[in-house]
C-alpha cells in the first residue's frame, strides 16, 4: 500500500502545474520594475528603490516578493494584489509607467498611491482587470478625465482618486455598472459640472467624498445653481457623505433626511441658503454634522437636542445665525462645539462648563458679551477654548487656571485687570484686550506660543522667560514695557519669533540677543533704542540657514486626528509694509525701524542670507548701503527710508522750499554745478542683483546721482519702489519699463529732468500709484500714460511740463485719453504750465475723489457738468484763469469736503447752495470777481472748518449766518468792504484764526475775544478800529500772531500782553502811547516782528 501511495504522489507531481506565479505575470512585474528604475536612474532615491525591489529578481518566485500577494488555491497561484504605494518621493513619473500591470488579469487589489505619477490615466488596459475589487490611485498627479473603461470594472468595491488633478465633468452614464461600489473618494480634484444623478443610485455605497472640486452645475430653473439631487435618498446604506468646498446652491433637500445610516454629513463651504431643516434631527445616527461656511440663517434650532449621538457640532461656523447660546445645547454634553463666524450674542450659560465631556469650544468672531462664568474650571477636560473677536469683558475667572489647555485664545475682547499668572496653555493668545499691571511671571514651561500684544502691560521685561525652555513665539508688541533689554533673554534658547515693537524699551540692543541661534523673526521697532547696529547681528544663525518653515499653523491635534485648529499668531508675521497688492508675507524678518539707532549699516547684515524682510527705516543711520547686501538673495522686502544714508543735497532742497533762504539758494546753485560736472556718476547705493526683491523703500535719505539703467531690469519682481525725498537726477531709465509687476512708484521731491518717455508705459499695466511730484520734468504728458487702466493715484504736480507748439501756442492740453483711467481716485497736475480748457472727458472719471489742477493757466469756464464727479471729496482749481460763473451742478457733489476756486477770473454771485453741502469743511472763494448777496437767507448745513471769502465784494456788516458754523476754526473775510463793529457773536465762537484785514470795520474789540483758549491768529490790519486794547489780552495764551497795524487804537499796551509768545506782533500805525511793557520773551521767539 505504501508503495502505491508513493507512486500516486509521483504522478501528481508530474501532472499538477507549478505552484509558483505564472511566467507572464512575473515578466510583467519585472518590466514594471525596470521602467521605474529607468525613470529614476539619476535620482538620489535610486538606492531606496533598489532596496524596495530587492526581492524582485529572475531567480525567485514572484509570489514571495515584497509588495506582491498571490492566491492560495491548491491547484494554482496567481498574483491578486499589488501594494505599490509610496515607492518614490519628490519624483515625477509618467502614467505609462504601470502599463505592464495591465497584463496581470488576476488582480483584485491594486494600490499605486503616493507616487507622484502624472499624465492622463491610460484607458485601454483597464478592461483586462475585470476582477479588480480595490483600486487606490490617491495622491498622484493624474489629469484629464476618468477613462470610460474604468466603468467596465463591475466587481469594483473601493475606488480612491483623491488628491489628483482629474478635471472635466463626471460621466453621466455607466455608473450603474459599478453597482457593487462601497467606497468612492474624489476629494481634491478639478471636476466640474453637476453631480450626475445616476451616481446616487449606487445603493451599496457607504462612503462618498466629492469635496474640494469645482462642481458648479448647469442652468436650471435656479439659474447657475447646482442643487443637491433629490435621488440622494436611494443611497440608504450611506454612512459618510462629504460634499464640502464646492459651489452648491439652494436648499438642503428633504430627501437627505432618509439616509438613516448617516454618521457624518459635511456640506460645508458651499452656498447653501435657507434655515436649517427642522427635521434634520431624524438623522438619528449622526455623530459629525458640518454645515459651516454657507449662508444659513435663523437661530440654532432646538431639534439639534434630539441628536443624542452627536459628539461634534460644526454646522454653524461662518453662517449668519443669530440669537443666544441655547441652554439646551449647554446641557447636551457635546464634546466639540464650533459656532465661530456668526452673529450670535448674549452671555455664556454657566451650565456649559459643568460638562465632563466638553473638549473644545470655538465661539470665535461672534457678538458674545459679558463676563466668563466663574465655574469655567469645572470643565476639566476642556483643552481648546477659542473666544477671540467677541465682546467679552471683566476679569478672567481664577478657576480657569485649573485647566490644561492646548489652545487658549481670548484675544480681541475687552478683558481687563491683571492676568492670572498660573494659566497653563501650550498656545495662548490674550492680545488686543485691556489687561494691565506687570507682566505675569509664572507661565507653564510647556508654553510654546505666547501672544500678549496690544494690552496695557507695564514694567520691565520679565525674567520669567528664562524658565520657558519650550517657548518658540513671544509677542508683546504695543504695551508699555520699559527699561532695557536684559541679557537673560538669551536663556530662552529655542525662541524663533520675538516681537517687542511699539513699547518703551531703552538703551542699546544687548549682545546676548545674538545667542538666540533659532531666531527667525525679530521685531524691536518703534521703541527708544540707541547706539549702533552691532556687527554681531550677522551671527543670527536662524536668519542665515534656510529652514523649512513655510507652515504658519501649528499641529494642535494632541492625539486627535479630527481636531486641527489653525493657530493664528496675530502680529507675529510683523505688521509689515503693504503694497497695493496686499501683504508681502516674509518668514525671516529683521525689523529695528523707528528707533534712534545711529552709525553705519554693518556689512555683516549681508551674512543673513535667508533673510526675507529687512527694515532699518526711521533711524539716524549714515553712510551707504553695504555691498554685502548683494548676498541677500532671498530678500523680498527692504526698507532703509528716513535715515541719512549717503551724502547728498535733498535736505537742502526741502529747506529751500520752506524757508526760501539766501544761504539755501546758494547751496542749491552749488548742487546744480555739481550735476553739470558729473555728480551723476555716483552709485545709487543698492546692488541690483536682489532678484527676489518685491518691496524697496529708499525714500527720505540723501542718495544722489542718476539711476543705473542696466541693473534696474534685474529687479523684475519689484512691486513697490519708493525713492522719494532724495536727490536723484537725470532722466527716467528705459529699463524701468521692464518692471512689469510694478504697482507702486514714488519718486517725488527729486531732481529728475527731461521729457517723460512717450512709449513703453503700457508695460507698467499693473501700476496703481504713480507720484512724480516736485521734479524737473518738462515737455508734454505722454498720452500713453493715460492708458494705465489700473492707476488709482497720479501726481505730476510741481514740474515744468510745458508742452509743444500747437494750435494753442505754447500750450500743453490735458489729453482727452484721460477718460481711460476709470479707476483713478486721486489726480494731481498742479503747478505746471497747462493751458486750455478742462476737458469734458475728465468727467468720465467716476471714481475720482481728488482733482487738483491748481496753479496752471487753464482758461474758459468750469465744465457745467462737473457735478457728475459724484465721488469727489477734494476739488482744487485755484490759481488759474477760469472765467464764467460757479456752475450750479457743484451742489450735486454731496461728498465734497474741500473746494478751492481762489485766484481765478470767476464772476457772478456766490451760490448759497454751496453751504448746503453737508460734508464741506474747507471753502476758498477769494481773489475772484465774485459778489455776495447780503440779503440771501443762508441756513447752513455744512460742517465748515475753514471759510475764505476774501476779495468777494462783501458789503455791510459781517454776515450773522456765519455764527451758525459751529465747527469753524478759520475765517478769512479780508479785502472786502465790510462795515460795522467786531461782532460779539464772533468773539464768542472760539475760532482759531480770524482775518478781517483791509475792510472798513470800526469800534473797539470785545474783551471776551481774548478769553478764548483757541485763538491762534488775529489779523485786523487796515481797518478803523479804535479804543484801548482789552486788559485781558494775555488770557489768549495760544495767540501767536497779532496784527493790528493801520487802525486807530490808542492808550497803553496792556501788561498782560507780555505773557504771550508771539511769532508776529504788529501794532504799527496806531496811537498807542506810554511806556512799553517788557517784551523780552517775545523778542526771543524766532521770527518775531515788532513795529
Over residues 926-947, the pLDDT tens digits come to: 999 888 777 777 778 888 999 9
Contact 237, 205 (CB under 8 A): yes
CA distance 755 to 776: 9
C-beta separation of 371 from 392 below 8 A = yes
Cβ atoms of 587 and 612 within 8 Å: the answer is yes
Q: What's the pLDDT at 309? A: 60
Do 525 and 550 touch, CB atoms closer than 8 A? Answer: no
Strand order in the sheet with 704-706: 704-706, 727-730, 751-755, 776-778
Tell me: pLDDT of 17 over 50: no
pLDDT, tens only, 968-1017: 999 999 999 999 999 999 999 999 999 999 999 999 999 999 999 999 99
Instruction: Tell me what percent of the residues of the chain surpass a pLDDT of 90.
Output: 50
CB 496 within 8 A of CB 542: yes
CA distance 509 to 228: 62
Give the C-alpha separation, 916 to 599, whole Å: 56
Residue 303 near residue 277, CB atoms below 8 Å: no
Residue 528 grid cell: 527708544
Q: Compute the distance between CA of residue 144 and CA of residue 514 in angstroms, rounded to an integer.
A: 53
Higher-pLDDT residue of 718 and 250 is 718
Q: Count of CB atoms within 10 A of residue 46's CB?
A: 15
- Residue 955 vs residue 921, higher pLDDT: 921
Query: Would the pLDDT of 248 be above 50?
Result: yes
- CA angle in degrees (0–180, nearest 5) for 522-525-531: 95
Count each helix (H run) and each strand (E run) in the chain, helices first: 9, 75
| pLDDT over threshold 80, residue 865 | yes
Q: Which residues contact 548 (CB under 8 A, 6 or more apart)?
A: none
Is there a contact between 358 and 337 (Cβ–Cβ < 8 Å)? yes
- What pairs with residue 507 in β-bridges? 529
Burial class of residue 327, CB neighbours in 10 A (0-12, 13-18, 19+):
exposed
591 in Cβ contact with 501 (< 8 Å):
yes
Provide the 10 A C-beta neighbour count for residue 44. Answer: 10
Q: Which three cell numbers stand for residue 807?
A: 494750435
Window from 305-309, 339-343, 616-620, 1060-1064 with minimum mean pLDDT: 305-309
Distance between CA atoms of residues 782 and 737, nearest Å: 14
Report the b/e string of 501-527 with b at 16+ CB within 10 A: bbbebeeebbeebbbbebbbbbbbbbb
531-575 tens-digit pLDDT: 999 998 888 888 887 654 333 334 433 333 334 444 433 333 333
pLDDT of residue 649: 34
pLDDT at 1060: 83
- List the beta strands (DSSP E) in 430-559: 434-438, 449-451, 456-460, 473-475, 480-484, 497-499, 504-507, 521-523, 528-532
Over 60: is that where the pLDDT of 108 sits?
A: yes
Distance CA 1089, CA 150 (A): 96
Beta strands in 640-707 (DSSP E): 644-645, 695-697, 704-706
Average pLDDT, the chain: 82
pLDDT at residue 525 tops 60: yes
Residue 225 scores a pLDDT above 50? no
Taking Cα atoms as reference points, which of 184, 188, 190 lies closest to residue 167? 190
Q: Which of 905, 860, 899 is nearest to 877 (CA)?
A: 899
Categorize the per-residue pLDDT at 44 as very low, low, confident or very high, splitting at 50, 70 and 90. Answer: low
Q: How far apart are CA 637 and CA 617, in angstroms?
A: 12
Is residue 784 exposed (0-12), middle (13-18) or buried (19+ Cβ within 10 Å)? middle
Q: Which fold has domain 1005-1022+1029-1091?
A: 3.80.10
- Residue 599 confidence (pLDDT) above 90: yes
The whole-number pLDDT of residue 472 equals 92
Q: What is the band of 302 on the pLDDT scale with cuts at 50, 70, 90? A: low
pLDDT at 774: 95
Within a 10 A sphere around the Cβ of 458, how many other Cβ atoms?
A: 15
What is the C-alpha separation between 379 and 349, in angstroms, rounded? 13
Coil, strand or helix at 1087:
coil
pLDDT band at 763 (very low <50, low <70, confident <90, very high): very high
**How many Å apart are CA 149 and CA 82, to the nearest integer?**
20
Q: Say if residue 195's pLDDT is above 70.
A: yes
Q: Residue 868, exposed/middle/buried by CB under 10 A (0-12, 13-18, 19+)?
A: middle
CB hemisphere CA count around 1054 (13 angstroms):
17
Of 437-446, 750-759, 964-973, the one with minimum mean pLDDT is 437-446
662-676 vs 650-659: helix axis angle to the nearest 10? 140
pLDDT given at position 1032: 93
Strand partners, 1042: 1018, 1065
Per-residue pLDDT reduced to its tens digit, 632-669: 999 999 999 999 998 533 333 333 333 333 343 444 44
Cα–Cα dist 669/706, whole Å: 18
Amino acid 381: pLDDT? 92
| pLDDT at 1045 > cutoff 80 | yes
Average pLDDT in the 387-395 region?
Answer: 96
Residues 483-507 have a mean pLDDT of 89
| CA distance readout (Å), 820 to 766, 771, 815, 1075 | 14, 19, 11, 69
**pLDDT value at residue 450:** 92
Cα–Cα distance for residue pair 668/652, rounded to 1 Å: 7
Give me 646's grid cell.
Answer: 549717503
Whose cell is 469655567? That residue is: 376
Which strand (E) or helix (H) includes residue 289? strand 288-290
User: Residue 1091: what pLDDT?
Assistant: 39
Of 1050, 1059, 1051, 1091, nearest to 1078 by C-alpha is: 1059
For the chain, give the percent of residues with pLDDT over 70.
82
pLDDT computed for residue 43 by the predictor: 67
- What is the rounded CA–CA span in Å between residue 542 and residue 607? 11
Tell me how far apart the alpha carbons of residues 369 and 367 are, in angstroms, rounded to a whole number: 6
For residues 839 and 702, give the distance between their C-alpha atoms in angstroms, rounded to a whole number: 39
The reported pLDDT for the residue numbered 542 is 84
Q: 436-450, 490-504, 768-782: which has the minimum mean pLDDT?
A: 436-450
State the pLDDT at residue 215: 81
- What is the per-residue pLDDT for 227? 52
Q: What is the pLDDT of residue 648?
A: 37
Predicted local distance difference test score (pLDDT) of residue 663:
40
β-pair type (578-579, 582-583): antiparallel
Q: What is the pLDDT of residue 603?
A: 93
Amino acid at each position: 500500500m505504501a508503495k502505491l501511495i508513493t507512486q500516486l504522489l509521483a504522478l501528481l507531481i508530474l501532472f499538477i502545474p507549478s505552484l509558483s506565479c505564472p511566467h507572464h505575470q512575473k515578466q510583467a512585474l519585472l518590466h514594471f520594475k525596470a521602467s521605474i528604475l529607468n525613470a529614476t536612474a539619476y535620482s538620489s532615491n535610486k538606492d531606496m528603490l533598489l532596496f524596495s525591489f530587492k526581492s524582485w529578481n529572475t531567480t525567485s518566485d514572484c509570489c514571495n516578493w515584497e509588495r506582491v500577494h498571490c492566491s492560495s488555491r491548491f491547484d494554482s497561484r496567481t498574483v491578486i494584489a499589488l501594494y505599490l504605494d509610496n515607492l518614490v518621493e519628490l519624483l515625477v513619473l509618467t502614467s505609462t509607467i504601470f502599463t505592464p500591470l495591465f497584463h496581470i488579469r488576476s488582480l483584485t487589489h491594486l494600490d499605486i498611491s503616493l507616487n507622484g505619477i502624472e499624465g492622463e490615466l491610460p484607458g485601454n488596459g483597464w478592461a483586462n482587470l475585470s476582477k479588480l475589487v480595490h483600486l487606490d490611485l490617491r495622491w498622484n498627479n493624474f489629469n484629464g478625465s476618468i477613462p470610460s473603461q474604468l466603468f467596465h470594472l463591475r466587481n469594483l468595491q473601493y475606488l480612491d482618486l483623491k488628491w489628483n488633478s482629474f478635471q472635466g465633468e463626471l460621466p453621466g452614464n455607466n455608473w450603474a455598472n459599478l453597482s457593487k461600489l462601497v467606497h468612492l473618494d474624489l476629494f481634491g480634484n478639478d471636476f466640474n459640472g453637476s453631480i450626475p444623478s445616476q451616481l446616487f443610485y449606487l445603493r451599496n455605497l457607504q462612503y462618498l467624498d466629492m469635496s474640494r472640486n469645482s462642481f458648479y452645475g448647469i442652468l436650471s430653473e435656479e439659474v447657475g445653481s447646482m442643487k443637491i439631487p433629490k435621488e440622494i435618498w436611494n443611497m440608504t446604506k450611506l454612512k459618510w457623505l462629504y460634499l464640502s468646498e464646492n459651489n452648491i446652491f439652494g436648499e438642503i433637500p428633504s430627501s437627505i433626511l432618509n439616509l438613516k445610516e448617516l454618521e457624518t454629513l459635511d456640506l460645508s463651504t458651499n452656498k447653501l441658503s435657507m434655515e436649517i431643516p427642522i427635521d434634520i434631527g431624524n438623522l438619528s445616527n449622526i455623530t459629525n454634522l458640518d454645515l459651516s461656511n454657507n449662508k444659513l440663517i435663523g437661530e440654532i434650532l432646538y431639534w439639534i437636542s434630539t441628536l443624542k449621538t452627536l459628539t461634534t457640532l460644526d454646522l454653524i461656523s461662518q453662517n449668519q445665525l443669530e440669537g443666544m447660546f441655547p441652554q439646551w445645547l449647554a446641557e447636551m454634553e457635546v464634546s466639540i462645539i464650533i459656532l465661530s463666524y456668526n452673529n450670535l450674542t448674549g452671555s455664556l450659560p454657566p451650565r456649559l462648563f459643568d460638562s465632563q465631556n466638553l473638549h473644545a469650544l470655538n465661539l470665535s468672531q461672534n457678538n458674545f458679551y459679558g463676563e466668563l462664568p466663574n465655574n469655567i474650571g469645572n470643565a476639566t477636560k476642556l483643552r481648546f477654548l477659542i473666544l477671540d473677536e467677541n465682546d467679552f469683558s471683566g476679569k478672567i475667572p481664577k478657576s480657569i487656571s485649573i485647566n490644561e489647555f492646548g489652545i487658549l485664545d481670548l484675544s480681541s475682547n475687552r478683558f481687563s485687570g491683571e492676568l492670572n499668572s498660573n494659566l497653563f496653555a501650550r498656545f495662548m493668545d490674550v492680545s488686543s484686550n485691556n489687561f494691565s499691571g506687570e507682566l505675569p511671571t509664572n507661565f507653564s514651561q510647556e508654553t510654546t506660543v505666547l501672544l500678549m500684544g496690544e494690552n496695557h502691560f507695564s514694567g520691565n521685561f520679565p525674567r520669567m522667560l528664562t524658565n520657558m525652555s519650550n517657548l518658540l513665539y513671544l509677542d508683546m508688541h504695543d504695551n508699555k514695557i520699559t527699561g532695557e533689554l536684559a541679557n537673560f533673554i538669551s536663556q530662552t534658547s529655542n525662541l524663533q519669533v520675538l516681537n517687542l515693537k511699539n513699547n518703551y524699551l531703552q538703551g542699546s540692543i544687548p549682545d546676548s540677543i545674538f545667542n538666540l541661534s533659532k531666531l527667525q523673526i525679530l521685531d524691536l521697532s518703534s521703541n527708544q533704542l540707541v547706539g549702533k547696529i552691532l556687527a554681531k547681528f550677522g551671527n543670527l544663525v536662524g536668519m542665515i540657514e534656510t529652514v523649512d518653515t513655510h507652515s504658519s499653523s501649528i499641529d494642535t491635534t494632541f492625539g486627535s486626528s479630527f481636531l486641527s485648529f489653525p493657530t493664528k499668531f496675530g502680529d507675529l508675521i510683523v505688521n509689515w509694509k503693504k503694497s497695493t497688492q496686499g501683504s508681502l508675507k516674509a518668514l525671516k524678518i529683521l525689523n529695528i525701524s523707528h528707533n534712534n539707532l545711529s552709525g553705519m549699516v554693518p556689512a555683516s547684515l549681508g551674512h543673513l542670507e535667508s533673510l526675507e524682510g529687512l527694515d532699518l527705516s526711521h533711524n539716524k543711520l549714515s553712510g551707504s548701503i553695504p555691498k554685502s547686501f548683494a548676498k541677500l538673495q532671498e530678500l523680498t522686502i527692504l526698507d532703509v527710508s528716513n535715515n541719512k544714508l549717503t551724502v547728498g543735497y535733498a535736505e537742502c532742497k526741502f529747506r529751500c522750499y520752506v524757508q526760501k533762504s539766501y544761504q539755501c539758494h546758494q547751496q542749491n546753485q552749488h548742487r546744480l554745478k555739481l550735476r553739470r560736472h558729473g555728480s551723476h556718476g555716483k552709485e545709487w547705493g543698492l546692488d541690483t542683483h536682489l532678484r527676489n526683491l518685491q518691496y524697496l523703500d529708499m525714500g527720505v535719505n540723501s542718495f544722489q546721482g542718476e539711476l543705473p539703467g542696466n541693473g534696474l531690469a534685474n529687479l523684475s519682481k519689484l512691486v513697490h519702489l519708493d525713492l522719494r525725498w532724495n536727490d536723484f537726477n537725470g532722466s527716467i531709465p528705459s529699463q524701468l519699463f521692464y518692471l512689469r509687476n510694478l504697482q507702486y512708484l514714488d519718486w517725488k521731491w527729486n531732481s529728475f529732468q527731461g521729457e517723460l518717455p512717450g512709449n513703453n508705459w503700457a508695460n507698467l499695466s499693473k501700476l496703481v500709484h504713480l507720484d512724480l511730484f516736485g521734479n524737473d520734468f518738462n515737455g508734454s504728458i505722454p498720452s500713453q500714460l493715460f492708458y494705465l487702466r489700473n492707476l488709482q493715484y497720479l501726481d505730476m504736480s510741481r514740474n515744468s511740463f510745458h508742452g509743444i507748439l500747437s494750435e494753442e501756442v505754447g500750450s500743453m492740453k490735458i489729453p482727452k485719453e484721460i477718460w481711460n483711467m476709470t479707476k483713478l481716485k486721486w489726480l494731481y497736475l498742479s503747478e505746471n504750465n497747462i493751458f486750455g480748457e478742462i476737458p469734458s472727458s475728465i468727467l468720465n472719471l467716476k471714481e475720482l475723489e481728488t482733482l487738483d489742477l491748481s496753479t496752471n493757466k487753464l482758461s474758459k469756464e468750469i465744465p457745467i457738468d462737473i457735478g457728475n464727479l459724484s465721488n469727489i471729496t477734494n476739488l482744487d482749481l485755484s490759481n488759474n484763469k477760469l472765467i464764467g460763473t460757479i456752475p450750479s451742478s457743484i451742489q450735486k457733489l454731496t461728498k465734497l469736503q474741500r473746494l478751492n476756486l481762489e485766484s481765478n477770473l470767476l464772476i457772478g454771485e456766490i451760490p448759497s447752495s454751496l453751504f448746503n453741502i453737508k460734508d464741506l469743511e474747507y471753502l476758498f472763494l477769494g481773489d475772484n470777481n465774485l459778489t455776495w448777496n447780503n440779503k440771501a437767507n443762508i441756513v447752513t448745513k455744512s460742517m465748515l472748518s475753514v471759510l475764505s471769502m476774501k476779495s468777494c465784494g462783501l458789503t455791510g456788516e459781517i454776515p450773522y449766518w456765519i455764527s451758525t458754523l459751529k465747527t469753524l476754526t478759520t475765517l478769512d473775510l479780508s479785502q472786502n468792504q465790510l462795515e460795522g463793529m467786531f461782532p460779539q457773536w464772533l468773539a464768542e465762537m472760539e475760532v482759531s484764526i480770524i482775518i478781517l484785514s483791509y475792510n472798513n470795520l470800526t469800534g473797539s474789540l470785545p474783551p471776551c475775544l481774548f478769553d478764548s483758549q483757541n485763538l491762534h491768529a488775529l489779523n485786523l490790519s487796515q481797518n478803523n478800529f479804535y479804543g484801548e486794547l482789552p486788559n485781558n489780552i494775555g488770557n489768549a495764551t495760544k495767540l501767536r500772531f497779532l496784527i493790528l497795524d493801520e487802525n486807530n487804537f490808542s492808550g497803553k499796551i496792556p501788561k498782560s500782553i507780555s505773557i504771550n509768545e508771539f511769532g508776529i506782533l504788529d501794532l504799527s500805525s496806531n496811537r498807542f502811547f506810554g511806556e512799553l511793557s517788557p517784551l523780552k520773551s517775545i523778542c526771543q521767539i524766532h521770527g518775531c516782528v515788532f513795529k
